Amino acid sequence: VDSSLPALELAKENVVLNNIDPGRISFLKEDATEFMKGALLRNESWDIVIIDPPKLAPSKKVSIMAAIVMF
């Protein structure tokens, strides 16, 4: 589950590169928070959930500017 189509496409490429059966993996373009709320309503559960948080600083320039503002 990811809201970023490029991230999902990259994940699909990695499935192929790692010789993983693509039939065992599904990809969904959706906001993860909304997906999890829906899963709760559908009473879905999993053994493991891996969360990869979004970038806090989208670029080096933004990171540098944020650091300057903080000081």
- 39 contact partners, CB below 8 Å, separation of at least 6: 45
Number of domains comprising the chain: 1
Structural domain for 62, as ranges: 5-69
pLDDT of residue 46: 82
pTM for this model (two decimals):
0.62
Phi, psi of 17 (to 5 degrees): -60, -30
Task: Give the Cβ contact number of residue 2 at 10 Å.
Answer: 19
Taking only the tens place, the pLDDT of each residue in 1-46 is 888 899 899 999 999 999 999 888 889 999 888 998 999 999 998 8
